[in-house]
Structure 1
Amino acid sequence: MITYGHFDVEDDLFNLWVCLEGTGMKAAKLRLNITKTTREVYEENKIYIPAQHTAQSAAEAANRWIGVCDKNHPSCMARAAPPPDARMPTRLLDLGTGDSTTWRIIETQQDRVPYVALSHRWTENTPTLLQKNYDAYCDSQQDSILPQNYRDMLDICRAIQIRYIWIDSLCIIQDDNGADFRHEAPIMLHVYRYAFLTLMILWEFSDSTVFRDCRPSTIARPRPQSYKRTELTETDQESWYTYLKNLVISEAAVPSKDSMSNAHNYAFVRVENTGSYNFDVNNAPINKRAWVLQERSLSRRILCLGNEQLYWECDGQITAPLIANEVSPNGLPSITQRESLCSLSGTHSVRSWNSLLEEYTTRQLTYEEDRLVALSGVARAVAKLTGHTYFAGIWVESWMLDLLWEPDRARPESARAKPITMGVSSMVWIWT
């Protein structure tokens, strides 16, 4: 049921806000952003959203955002050139050149090359680097031995012409009692912070492709016969519904050039549903993992592969990060933003750090003893940017505030972080 609507008319821009009530909806509010345009401008600027993505179409979307990022985002470009003390990953997957369909593991010897980092959830089908297959994996292997979601990531890398990718399960030896992990864990700070791009698989796809049917929400259609400024209340339900129905066609329809060739006036109609970002990204299974909070905060730009569409996160302008999707490629307004290095080292860094910790303690860990390790990379990065001193979960400069915490009694005990046995009696402040 439509309970409220407001239609503002300006010379070139129409904004329509609709509040909805009903069951089965991800969001209770819908915003339609309607921009008057011409056929020529529309054809020049429209962004086609395919019915189903491929590695090539995902790469094209990524390249559009990367182009904007490189040109307009000083905060992003400040991290484009790693400092001399930045560490390269110890190992990378080399995907070859041209139309290669093979990969192999290489040891970088700290030679600097651009690479992509992968952020994902492990499943029972996750391939792993073991002592027994190490030598074999250093020789060329067919893509086909990997699960489909890994092959999708390799294809995206090739499509954006990045030859190397870092994947934790294949770049860290998994069966040596944790020896290689202990060596690699401190480098995680550098792996994600200085990657050319981070790819994030939001939902578990196991052995199926990450590319799903898209649900385009950007459409173009001939404008209605007339526009007028109007305020609508509950008494205008029928007229409001009729107007809205006439204005908005099926979200799944992207009109072709031929279907619009006889019309003279066009309007972009974009559905701005910020709730979809929170549902598809912030509440996705991957963002229940504690390690991913660090990976997401450290990454300078992320292409998120969601169930319904692609999302983009980067440091953006100095004043604010950029979070966007295919429907709103220039940015989504008024949403919960990730805690990036920019916010964690800025004017309100103490508040941002405490917000990060509150979120972090809700996350899941396979091994509870990783509770401090999985956040240490962010802490070290913030310490370097601010000059502050970090020690086991608190900052010396704000230690009194950092000790003012208590368990969230509203959360079930099973969802709380477990106490850590450190053998150090003084560390009683570590979050539980």
Structure 2
Amino acid sequence: MNPRLGDDLFRDTTGMTTLESHLLGGFHSQSNLNQPDHSASKSTWKRFGTHHVSASTFLASVARRCVVCESIRAAVSKLSDDFLATGRLFNSFTTYGVYYFPAWGTCWLVFHLGLSEEGMELNTDHSILEFLCRPPEYFSAHIEVNSLVPAHTEGSDSTENLDVAMAWIQICDETHDCLRQQSDGSGFSPTRLLDVGSTEDSVVKLVTSPPAHERYVTLSYCWGTGTSVRLLSHKIEGFQRGIHVESLPRTLQEAFRVSRGLGIKYIWIDALCIVQDSESDWNHESSKMAEIYRNSYCNIAATSSKDCHGGLIKARSPDHLGTILVTTGWEGCENGSLGLIDRFILRHNIEKAPLNARGWVLQERHLSPRTLHFADTRLFWECYKTTACETWPAGVARGCQLALLKRNLGHPAPRDALYLYWRQLLRSYTATRLTMEEDKLPAISGLARKLAALLSDKYVVGLWGASLLTELLWHAATRPGHRPSSYLGPTWSWVSTNGQVDTNIHWTSIDTVHTALARVVNYQIEYATDDVFGRVRSATLRLSGRIYPATFLHPMQPSADKPLYGSITFDDCQINAHCLATSYTLDVALGSVGSVHTYCLPLLVDIEGVRLIRGLLLQPTGNNRGEYSRIGTFTCFPNSSEAGTAVFNEEQYHLDPTLVDEEDHIVLI
């Protein structure tokens, strides 16, 4: 594939720009590395400078089709040209930084936007675009299947060029064991599939009870609003006779053509394979999501489309498929050239794409052994062994890849790695959107079912039984929202909140040495169906521990999207004397600001590190003695490493018996 040029990055009509001048005396010069201000003892070498002084020169460069400037413009696509031209400048319009890591032999070129407006600071430590820099020989060594990539033209048909996809599938079939690792060998087949027929067929047909061992693909896509074509009870027979392809949204039409192009006769699409007006069918089929996706031959993902009418690959320029090649005067650079690779190519094209903002898609992506991403600028491939794209068909360059969490499902993994995997998934999942909030547990039930089998652990409304005390310490990662409008789960589970949540990553290991300050007595869960990974009607958790009255000041909502936190004062001054500080984080915003009376339930002491004490913030329900709802978490910092459990020594402090139930237990609902 021909590299694309980004000469404007380094040259203008007068010769070398400021950026070029800095780079020419930069990290490729060993003498500069040895100068006092860039000593070899440092782990990194840095240099900063101006890219474009003003918006006018930047936008002119975009108009000249400089691919670097086009990439920067795309990264700030939400900002209008008018804002870019009139926004207040800190210094220069765009600036850059060069970071060289000798130990890794890695160089990054980072761009920043120097604009601000009231309530929005853009000139921060957060970059708008980052490139890895590599000499040309790096590309020739890593693009091993370059000949497989067909020529692309602007506005190319979304399904006419599947050669590279077929090559990825062939390589995975012949050299990987992705499908075998996921398949249980039972010959599973979904309840219903769509027969896509041949390229000449104008209809697709719904097939019930398809033959076992038959290959099929799945489709991940955003429904959007106004999805008119769905499988309803009275339409089953008509769909079996045939559905006119032209009556379906563009994304579905193109998915049929991709399936045919890959030589796969059947496809599974949720809207057309689940009876949408049958609660029993929906519950039955949603409980089989894990099997449906993990037995899929390949998952087709409409990654860049925000609804079912967006299609698969969009019109795109061939300039954005190749490697950016810039001209330099660096000594030792072959032909005076250097290649630039978008360091966050996967984040920009996949992680932040419209599809992956949809809650259901997380498990679809992770359970599918192989996914073909139809992204905004190119085609991507993801299996348990490889992440690739049309620019890098043999695999995305090291340094650009995100950690492939799904590999934990494709390979034998230690228990700790699987628990960590779940907690990382949880942070991603709770940041997504669901059309129906009651789908919060079902939309991740397939992954939960898979992990439960791998861990031999019990799933407890989004938490894991073997490490339940630690699991209870999840906390809000962003500004607290509110409780869902309908009951989704108990307050002690993250299911009961609408915001993104996080866990204490330091405490991810169930084998980490803790001192428990409470004990799980039992829990009772009433499920909405016979699926223990799905919706619940009620759940209570009974704990044995000690509860301590305290007060905190509820601040006004912060302007930024950050967790709501502050400090706590215990009613017992002896506890305060043992603590340097006690902080809290709220799950949901409370109705009023000012002083709030609460109760603290210590759960664990980390005796390996700084002996932090963590626990839950509770409020009485007022319904039954000793019954509480959770409102947040707290962290106590003892005033010495020896304090540890002495902060909450049950022999030292009197416990009010009215704070627990008749069996001296604390009941959480």
TM-score greater than 0.5 by the shorter chain: yes
1:323 to 2:387 alignment: yes
Residue of 407, 426, 429 corresponding to 2:540: 426
Determine the C-alpha separation between the residues in 1 that align with 2:139 and 2:272: 51
Matched ranges for 1:300-379 at <5 A: 300-316=369-385, 322-329=386-393, 330-334=395-399, 335-340=401-406, 342=408, 346-347=413-414, 348-379=417-448
Query: Which has the bigger relative contact order, CA under 8 A and spacing at least 6?
Result: 1
State the secondary structure of the residue aligned to 2:366.
Answer: helix
Of the structure 1 ranges 382-391 and 48-57, higher mean CA displacement relative to structure 2 is found in 48-57
C-alpha distance after superposition, 1:23-64 (max 9, x if no partner): 69984321244434999x999844345124434445222112
**How far is the alpha carbon of 1:377 from its aligned partner?**
1.0
Determine the C-alpha separation between the residues in 1 that align with 2:143 and 2:358: 41
C-alpha distance after superposition, 1:131-153 (max 9, x if no partner): 23221111133311111121111
- 2:162 is aligned to 59
1:78 to 2:180 alignment: yes
> 1:8–1:229: 8 Å Cα contact kept in structure 2?
no
The TM-score normalised by the length of structure 1 is: 0.76
* 1:361–1:418 distance in 2 versus 1, CA, 3 Å: farther
Of the structure 1 ranges 324-333 and 203-212, higher mean CA displacement relative to structure 2 is found in 203-212
* 1:44–1:380 distance in 2 versus 1, CA, 3 Å: closer
State the identity %: 25
> 1:17–1:31: 8 Å Cα contact kept in structure 2?
yes
State the secondary structure of the residue aligned to 2:479.
Answer: coil
Residue of 294, 297, 303 corresponding to 1:196: 297
C-alpha distance after superposition, 1:131-180 (max 9, x if no partner): 2322111113331111112111111100010011000000011123x221
- 2:342 is aligned to 273
- 2:189 is aligned to 88
Whichever of the two has the greater Rg, that structure is: 2
> 1:379–1:390: 8 Å Cα contact kept in structure 2?
yes
Determine the C-alpha separation between the residues in 1 that align with 2:403 and 2:630: 28
* 1:196–1:227 distance in 2 versus 1, CA, 3 Å: same
**How far is the alpha carbon of 1:356 from its aligned partner?**
1.1
State the secondary structure of the residue aligned to 1:161.
Answer: coil
1:286 to 2:355 alignment: yes
Determine the C-alpha separation between the residues in 2 that align with 1:90 and 1:163: 16
C-alpha distance after superposition, 1:334-364 (max 9, x if no partner): 3333531625962211111111112222222
State the secondary structure of the residue aligned to 1:93.
Answer: strand
Aligned residue identity for 1:346: A
Of the structure 1 ranges 275-284 and 334-343, higher mean CA displacement relative to structure 2 is found in 334-343
Matched ranges for 1:234-249 at <5 A: 247=337
Determine the C-alpha separation between the residues in 2 that align with 1:116 and 1:277: 23
Matched ranges for 1:79-158 at <5 A: 79=181, 81-84=183-186, 87-97=188-198, 99-109=200-210, 111-123=212-224, 124-125=226-227, 127-158=229-260
- 2:130 is aligned to 29
> 1:302–1:312: 8 Å Cα contact kept in structure 2?
yes
- 1:395 is aligned to 464
**How far is the alpha carbon of 1:130 from its aligned partner?**
1.4
The structure that is helix-richer by fraction is 1
Determine the C-alpha separation between the residues in 1 that align with 2:485 and 2:349: 25
**How far is the alpha carbon of 1:182 from its aligned partner?**
0.9
Unmatched runs of 5 consecutive residues or more in structure 1:
231-242, 249-268, 317-321
What is the total number of aligned residue pairs between the two structures? 383
* 1:225–1:312 distance in 2 versus 1, CA, 3 Å: closer
Determine the C-alpha separation between the residues in 1 that align with 2:132 and 2:469: 43
Determine the C-alpha separation between the residues in 1 that align with 2:341 and 2:322: 9
Determine the C-alpha separation between the residues in 1 that align with 2:113 and 2:446: 44
Determine the C-alpha separation between the residues in 2 that align with 1:182 and 1:58: 38
Determine the C-alpha separation between the residues in 2 that align with 1:21 and 1:154: 42
Unmatched runs of 5 consecutive residues or more in structure 2:
1-17, 31-104, 116-121, 490-535, 542-628, 633-668
- 2:286 is aligned to 185
Determine the C-alpha separation between the residues in 2 that align with 1:83 and 1:414: 44
State the secondary structure of the residue aligned to 2:360.
Answer: helix
State the secondary structure of the residue aligned to 2:234.
Answer: coil
Determine the C-alpha separation between the residues in 1 that align with 2:418 and 2:212: 34
State the secondary structure of the residue aligned to 2:219.
Answer: strand
**How far is the alpha carbon of 1:382 from its aligned partner?**
1.5
* 1:206–1:44 distance in 2 versus 1, CA, 3 Å: closer
> 2:191–2:209: 8 Å Cα contact kept in structure 1?
yes
Matched ranges for 1:220-259 at <5 A: 228-229=331-332, 247=337
C-alpha distance after superposition, 1:224-256 (max 9, x if no partner): 8997238xxxxxxxxxxxx99x747xxxxxxxx
The TM-score normalised by the length of structure 2 is: 0.51
State the secondary structure of the residue aligned to 1:104.
Answer: strand
Residue of 173, 177, 197 corresponding to 2:275: 173
Matched ranges for 1:12-23 at <5 A: 17-22=108-113
